[in-house]
Amino acid sequence: MFHPSRRDALVAASLAAAFGLDKPFAFIDEAEAQTTPDPAVGFHRYKVGSIEVTALYDGIWEKPHDPAFIKNASIDETKEALAKAGLTTAFVSIPLTVVVLKLGERYVMVDSGSGAGQWQPTATKLASNMAAAGIDPARIDTILLSHFHPDHIFGLMNRNTDAPVFPQAEIVVSATEYKWWTEPGRVGALPEARKALGQRINAVFPGWKNFRLVEGEPEVAPGVRLVKAPGHTPGHAAYHVSSGNEQLMMSNDTFYVPALLAPHPDWQGTYDQDSALAVETRRGLIERVLAEKMLICGAHFPFPGLGSFAKDGAAYAFTPAKA
Ligand SMILES: [Zn+2]
């Protein structure tokens, strides 16, 4: 029998408060009780030329080990890579960081976060960290989406009503991504685990008028260009930010958890829809970043989501930036 500890009870109470529930959860699974401390300050600012970048911590998924997670690596090999990166081997740490770019007076957010617990009950902090950073969500002019997985789009939708959380913002997404998820017959063809996501996308997004679908690799905001990075999903996009002689590659989910994929860029995760294409994209993107000496950030890099890569034989060594 499961006996919630005092800490679990506290976690349950704080989650209940975050969800606006009047009663704490009666039960919280051990896997949902967060053991990773949040960063002391949940936002981090840096500059790319004249562009101000704010990294905002949403939370973390402490993913239980699962033999299917990496198709061509065992749990032991996964644990070994985590240990080498100085991470716990008790679970796979998958943190989530959302970035807001300030371009003059214009606020551009990349992805929307996971919607206050709609992805994982331990990822609820985007709104409070945005407030702490002094960013008013009503002032977000543009949202650039990387892809349609829950941790990147659920923050667009009210958890109960699906009402738009950012109705004033233009939402930019690759036409390939949008069309793939919404084409006739798609929901039926999705694997069981993705059907609910597909149904929600199809029930909600076609009714919104603020989507802008883009083809190719256009400039989508001043100094910001979409970079096609398919494999994770068919229309997965990175974004390239350039100002003066500084560049930032927002790799989004191309390198997923770099503790695993920098030393093993050919590992094929279940999270990548087309594994072979994801590997090709991953290698191509990082070679460009290294050749042009860009900064690189990623949605699931350790907070603040920035780090540096170096060549290490046929693979890469990753060093996370400290907040
Ligand atoms: Zn993701």
pLDDT recorded at residue 273: 95
Assess contact for 191 and 158: CB atoms under 8 A. Answer: no
In the prediction, which pLDDT does 323 show?
Answer: 73
3-state helix, strand, coil in the chain (%, to 5): 30, 30, 45
- Listing DSSP states for 140-172 in one string gives EEEEE----SHHHHGGGB-TTT--BS-TTSEEE
CA of 199 to the centre of ligand 1 (A): 19
Cα of 240 vs centre of ligand 1, distance in Å, is 18
Bridge partners, residue 307, by sequence: 296, 320
What pLDDT, on a 0 to 100 scale, did the predictor assign at position 10? 41
d(CA 222, CA 142): 11
Q: How far is the centre of ligand 1, averaged over its atoms, from the C-alpha of 60 (Å)?
A: 11
- For residue 38, the 8-state DSSP code is P
* Residue 146: other Cβ atoms inside 10 A: 27
Residues of the chain short of pLDDT 50, as ranges, are 1-28, 30-31
In the prediction, which pLDDT does 204 show?
98
Distance from the CA of 220 to the center of ligand 1, in angstroms? 21
Tell me, what's the pLDDT at 32? Answer: 56
pLDDT at 27: 46
Q: Tell me the CA–centroid distance for residue 248 and ligand 1, in Å.
A: 19
Per-residue burial over 39-57, b if 16 or more Cβ lie within 10 Å, else e, is beebbbeeebeebbbbbbb
CA 281 to centroid of chain Cα atoms: 17
Check residue 33 and give its pLDDT: 66
Q: How far apart are CA 91 and CA 72, in angstroms?
A: 18
Q: What global pTM score does this model have?
A: 0.89
DSSP state at residue 269: B
Find the DSSP H helices in 245-298: 258-261, 275-291
Query: What spacing in Å lies between the alpha carbon of 169 and ligand 1's midpoint?
Result: 21
* pLDDT for 190: 95
- As a whole number of angstroms, the distance between CA 11 and CA 22 comes to 15
Compute the distance from residue 1 Cα to the ligand 1 centre, in Å.
34
pLDDT of residue 24: 41
CA distances from 215 to 85, 147, 153, 220 (A): 37, 14, 20, 11
Q: What is the reported pLDDT for 16?
A: 38
Measure 148 CA to ligand 1 centroid, in angstroms. Answer: 9
For residue 198, the SS3 value is helix
Q: What distance in angstroms lies between residue 6's CA and the mean position of ligand 1's atoms?
A: 31
Superfamily of domain 6-320: Ribonuclease Z/Hydroxyacylglutathione hydrolase-like (3.60.15.10)
Q: What is the pLDDT of residue 4?
A: 38
Q: How far apart are CA 125 and CA 128, in angstroms?
A: 5
Return the percentage of the chain with pLDDT > 90, whole number. 87
**CA 309 to centroid of ligand 1, rounded, Å:** 20
Residue 113 Cα to ligand 1 middle (Å): 9
Peptide bond into 64 cis (omega under 30): no
Please tell me the distance from the alpha carbon of residue 321 to that of residue 50, in angstroms, as a whole number.
21
User: Measured in angstroms, how far is the CA atom of residue 300 from the centroid of ligand 1?
Assistant: 7
Q: Is 139 left (phi over 0), alpha (psi -120 to 50) or beta?
A: alpha
Whole-number Å distance, alpha carbon 258 to ligand 1 midpoint, is 12
